[in-house]
Amino acid sequence: MGYSQSYITIDPSEYHVLHPRPAYLIVSMDKNGSLNAMAASWVMPVNDDPFIIALALDKETKTYQNLVETGEFTVNAMGEEHAALVYRAGSLSGRNTDKWRLLKLEPQPSKQVRAPGVKGSYGFLECRVERFLDVESVSLVLARVLAIHVREDLYERYSWNLEKARILMHVRGRAFTVPGKIIFAPKS
C-alpha cells in the first residue's frame, strides 16, 4: 500500500479530527414534563452487558439540567433527511426556546422512561442515568440502555441496513455526511 509519509501537525484543539460521528437527537424532559431536543454526536457505547452508553454534555445545557432533574432521556438515530432538523436543534438553546414545539417534533412513546423518542427517527434508545463524571465544563453521563426501538425497514439482524438507513453523521458546523460504502475485511 502506498501510504504518504508526510504528516502535518495541527492544533490539539482540533477535535473534529475524530469526526465524522453519528448525529443524534437527545430528548429529555424536565420535572414539569416539558420536552427538549438537543443535537449530539459525542455518544458512545461503554459496556455491552449491561448496555451502558456515555454521553458528553456541557453542564450549561438544558439537556444536562433535565438529566440531573429526571435522570431519563432517549437517544434518537437520525438520517440524511433530518440534516436541517439536527443542525437547527444544535443551533438553539433549550434554556430560552421551546425547541420541541419550534422544531415541530412529534413524540414516539417510550415504554420504560417518560421522555419519548422522536417520531420519524430511525430508532431510539431509552436510557436512565447511572452516573455523572465531571470533566472540566463537561459532564460525561453514563446511562443504562433500558430499551431499543428501531424501524423494522431499516434494521436487520445485528445492524442497520446501510443501503437503506442513511445514518446522518456530523463532520463540522453545517457539514454532514452519510455512509457511502460497506467494506468487509478479509477473514484471517
Determine how many CB atoms are found less than 10 A away from the CB of residue 116: 20
Per-residue pLDDT of the chain (188 residues; tens, 9 = 90+): 567 789 999 999 999 898 999 999 999 999 999 999 999 999 999 999 999 999 999 999 999 999 999 999 999 999 999 999 999 999 999 998 999 999 999 999 999 999 999 999 999 999 999 999 999 999 999 999 999 999 999 999 889 999 999 999 999 999 999 998 888 899 98
Cell of 143: 446511562
Identify the pLDDT of residue 182.
85
Question: What DSSP string describes the chain?
Answer: -----------TT-GGGG--EE-EEEEEE-TTS-EEEEEE--EEEEEETTEEEEEEEETTSHHHHHHHHH-EEEEEE-BGGGHHHHHHHHHS-TTTS-HHHHTT--EE--SSSSS-EETTSSEEEEEEEEEEEEETTEEEEEEEEEEEEE-TTTEETTEE-TTT--B-EEEETTEEE-------PPP-
Query: Which overall architecture, per CATH, does domain 19-177 show?
Result: Roll (2.30)
Identify the pLDDT of residue 188.
84
Domain layout of the chain by residue ranges: 19-177
Identify the pLDDT of residue 5.
85
